[in-house]
Amino acid sequence: MQLIKLNDHLWEIPRQAPMLVPGRIYANERMIGELRDDPALTQVANVACLPGIVGYSLAMPDIHWGYGFPIGGVAAVDAQEGVISPGGVGYDINCGVRLARTNLEFAEVEARVDQLADALFAKIPAGVGSEGAIPGLSMAELRQVVTQGSEWALRNGYATRRDLEHTEEGGRLSGADPDQLSERAYKRGAKQLGTLGSGNHFLEVSRIDRIFDAGLADALGLRMNQVTVLIHSGSRGLGHQTCDDYLKVIGSAMARYEIRLPDRQLAAVPISSPEGQAYLGAMAAAANFAWCNRQVMMHLAQQAFLEALSISPRELGFELIYDVCHNIAKFEEHTFEHRQRRVCVHRKGATRAFGPGHPALPEALRPFGQPVLIPGDMGRYSFVMVGLETAMRETFGSSCHGAGRVMSRTKAKAEARGRDLPAELKAMGVTVRARTRAGVAEEMPAAYKDVDEVVRVMEAAGVTRNVARLKPFAVIKG
């Protein structure tokens, strides 16, 4: 794969048939050396073949191979002439991250970490097929959840109005069509609202161990040694089934629209087509389920803190800083080559990173830029960043979403054989609660890139600015 170095943190795959635009990868010299023979680069080039794509096929520094799009991939397509591709959203529709702050300092909870971890593990169902946080949702209630998103949580006592204001899209993506979800999708999601799931999903209790920008940290209500909570999960079985359903529908429809792409996993149809509109309605519904899911888990986490620490809500001061999604396609206005364009931005393992002043941001955060939440592995650290104006000019308001895997789950389990990973993590100051040993092995720290290197590339590129670093001390896994 030919690569041209544009600067120390940006590389280009030149346009060549059948590519319609160049590919661009944010990475440093060391990262690109490891990527040169990686199939994820071929996926960047393949995405550049999507009809209606604008500007570039983009990849963030946490890039790794995914289904169709690389994970860490971004593509903006013209809203009128472009296509929609389920592979550009992914199986876990609106997998995302939310960060809550507390009034607590680490010293106040250090002696009760085990009790806190136990309470969180008991309160929030985790693991493959986990269910039961809110049992017995009827079909009518499920249809309300997928239509209303976090508004459903607000109406049912699981959220505050401020929570919704500090959630991307207000926790509700417009255009959701509950009729476009299959019966099987509803069946899979019926008992999973308020559950963590498995894989790379987690709840992480951290302390702030480093402040990079005191002014921005203060604006976000962050301070040294403060206890915070990160929740990373998505649309669970409902979203997975929805992706599976529409890959079949859209894959079968491509020939009718004479769309030919170099990879069948990139299955795509015109946005305006009946199949495209049906997928967008179903995707928005699954996205709304995911926002409501994370909101309910945040409510359950607050309850666990109150019970484990025997404190009042006022003493705890549990407040959402922001919730971001990183597997979604959304219609946005962007300026490219001095021209305002309405585009559908596919973000597959990438986070929206709007700059200061953007009207989509809550009024309290608008002067500072959108919070960008970047989880790392469960042994090291996670980061809070904010989007900058450069992101609006160069990445369609997008940034990285995490550390990025360097080891398959199969290889990670093989590497972990014979090791006591919970004890190793305990030695690093991290208490783990998990349903299975395999779940911990698959997500061992060595399976991931060092997220510090990933966020430094984004900051060097001027896309985001580092605000604070979070050091985990309790992690809940499936």
Contacts of 288 (CB under 8 A, 6+ apart): 94, 145, 146, 147, 148, 149, 150, 171, 172, 173, 176
What is the DSSP-derived secondary structure letter of residue 70?
P
**Three-state secondary structure call for residue 445:** helix
Q: How far apart are CA 344 and CA 75, in angstroms?
A: 8
Q: Which among 9, 299, 346, 401 is annotated as catalytic? A: 401
**Tell me, what DSSP letter sits at residue 68?**
S
- Using omega within 30 degrees of 0 as the cis cutoff, is the peptide bond preceding 18 cis? yes
For tokens 């985990």, name the residue.
472
Lookup: tokens for 284: 């928005």
Q: Where are the beta strands (DSSP E) in 268-370?
A: 269-270, 319-325, 327-336, 339-348, 351-352
**Beta pairing partners, 320:** 100
Per DSSP (E only), the strands in 263-381 are 269-270, 319-325, 327-336, 339-348, 351-352, 371-374
How far are the Cα atoms of 149, 181, 247, 429 from residue 286, in angstroms, in the given order? 9, 8, 15, 36
For 132, phi and psi rounded to 5 degrees? 105, 0
Query: Is 201 tagged catalytic?
Result: no
Q: Answer yes or no: are the C-beta atoms of 271 and 82 closer than 8 Å.
A: yes
| Pairing label, strands 398-399, 431-434 | unpaired
Structure tokens at 212: 């990079």
| Cβ pair 200, 475 in contact under 8 A | no
Residues marked active site are found at 401
